[in-house]
Amino acid sequence: MDTCCDQDSGNVNEKTVLLYACSGGANVGEVADRATRTLMAEGLGTMWCLAGVGAGVEPILAKAREADVNLVLDGCDVDCARKVFEQAGVPNVVQIKATDLGVEKVKGVRATDEQVARLAEKARQVLAERK
Ligand code: SF4
């Protein structure tokens, strides 16, 4: 089955790193989404489909189960993306939340470049600790 994730997984010192964002409707969801795409553009991992994990799409789930790190960027304390992984029983999950970094959740406003950079920097630190 072809999926939008049919590309090689990213690696940090041989580790397979998959990246996910909650991509929620509030600004913090946009922060998570843009930060995840930033990390992928930097070669720190491959953005993988959270919706596919939640839907139980087997090829997507299989890659997630095999990954050394599933880095999950959530926007807020509702923890939607992390809960998707709990329900799917996928291991090796590391979560970072935008609101834990002082980004206020506000509906109807756009994420700022600074907020995206803040979350991306935290993610870089977390990945560096797992090399
Ligand atoms: S974690 Fe928060 S921002 Fe992300 S989808 Fe859930 S409620 Fe929305």
For a mutational test of ligand 1's pocket, the pick from 78, 86, 104, 119, i.e. the residue with the most ligand atoms closer than 8 A to its C-beta, is 78
Rounded to the nearest 10 degrees, the angle between the axes of helix 113-129 and helix 27-41 is 50
| Vertex 16: Cα angle to 13 and 17 (nearest 5) | 100
Domain segments of the chain: what residues? 15-129
Nearest to 30 by CA among 126, 95, 120, 121: 120
Q: pLDDT tens, 75-125?
A: 999 999 999 999 999 999 999 999 999 999 998 999 999 999 999 999 999
Q: The tokens 């997984």 sit on which residue?
A: 9
Confidence of residue 13 (pLDDT cuts 50, 70, 90): low
pLDDT of residue 131: 82
Confidence of residue 6 (pLDDT cuts 50, 70, 90): low
Ligand 1 is surrounded, with C-beta below 6 A, by: 22, 24, 26, 28-29, 74-76, 78-80
131 or 21, greater pLDDT: 21
Which helix or strand (DSSP H or E) is residue 65 part of? helix 58-66
pLDDT of residue 5: 56
Confidence of residue 12 (pLDDT cuts 50, 70, 90): very low
Nearest to 64 by CA among 96, 95, 20: 20
pLDDT of residue 105: 98
Q: Which CATH class is domain 15-129?
A: alpha beta
Mean pLDDT over 54-75 rounds to 98
